[in-house]
């Protein structure tokens, strides 16, 4: 009975959807990796300079407020991309959820660290967490540079607990170079070749 209810139009839509997903088309153009990479790199370097040369710990949150307009831009950008995308794949959906989990976990780590009074643990924990969505994105997108970047995050997270706090900002800067900036340019190049 169910087979009779399945119209020809439904059959064509299902086949089209399966073909599209099977093609494993590559939609990631690296734009947001580059955007976040450069923003976090700038914030990390300014934070290092502020703490190391001026001993200014209290104003670090103002430096990181540069991420607020970046979040707003990202929301607008993703909204426009979603409207112009005709076919969404499982890959797109899974990758979006992976990064959503990271944002939620990063927010929770920020609150927990803020309440604990141990800000020196923030960068190591963020580096550790950051490796997770980067590694999974590398698996999902079948893109080795993201996996390598994730491993570098985990190594840098470990190193950061053995060095003075202010130098952890330099490790954060190095992490975004290896996980966002370099892969972002490689993703852009790959995207341009496919389109």
What's the pLDDT score for residue 153? 96
Count of beta carbons in the 10 Å neighbourhood of residue 104:
10
Cα dist from 125 to 71, 120, 122, 136, 153, whole Å = 21, 9, 5, 18, 10
What's the pLDDT score for residue 192? 84
Token pair 């407020």: residue:
65
**How much is the pTM?**
0.79
Backbone angles phi, psi at 141, to 5 degrees: -85, 0
Q: Yes or no: say if 64 and 43 are a contact pair by the CB < 8 Å rule.
A: yes
DSSP letter assigned to residue 178: I
Q: What is the mean pLDDT of each run of 10 residues along the chain (195 residues)?
A: 57 55 56 93 95 85 91 91 76 87 92 89 94 94 92 96 94 95 91 80
What's the pLDDT score for residue 14? 56
What's the pLDDT score for residue 9? 67
Count of beta carbons in the 10 Å neighbourhood of residue 36:
19
What's the pLDDT score for residue 25? 43
Sign of the Cα torsion 180, 182, 186, 191 reads: positive
What's the pLDDT score for residue 152? 96
What's the pLDDT score for residue 19? 45
- The pair of structure tokens assigned to 16 is 């089209």
What's the pLDDT score for residue 1? 45
Q: How many residues does the chain have?
A: 195
Q: Yes or no: say if 35 and 73 are a contact pair by the CB < 8 Å rule.
A: yes
Token pair 């980067």: residue:
134
């Amino acid at each position: 009975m169910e087979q009779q209810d399945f119209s020809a139009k439904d059959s064509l839509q299902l086949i089209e959807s399966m073909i599209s997903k099977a093609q494993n088309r590559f939609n990631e153009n690296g734009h947001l990796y580059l955007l976040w990479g450069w923003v976090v790199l700038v914030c990390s370097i300014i934070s290092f300079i502020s703490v190391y040369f001026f001993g200014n710990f209290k104003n670090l949150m103002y430096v990181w407020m540069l991420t607020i307009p970046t979040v707003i831009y990202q929301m607008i950008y993703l909204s426009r991309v979603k409207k112009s995308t005709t076919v969404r794949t499982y890959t797109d959906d899974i990758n979006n959820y992976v990064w959503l989990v990271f944002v939620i976990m990063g927010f929770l780590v920020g609150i927990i660290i803020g309440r604990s009074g141990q800000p020196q643990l923030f960068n190591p924990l963020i580096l550790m967490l950051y490796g997770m969505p980067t590694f999974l994105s590398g698996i999902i997108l079948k893109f080795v540079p993201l996996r390598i970047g994730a491993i570098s995050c985990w190594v840098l997270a470990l190193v950061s607990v053995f060095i003075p706090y202010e130098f952890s900002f330099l490790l954060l800067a190095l992490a975004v170079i290896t996980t966002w900036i370099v892969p972002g340019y490689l993703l852009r190049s790959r995207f341009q070749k496919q389109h």
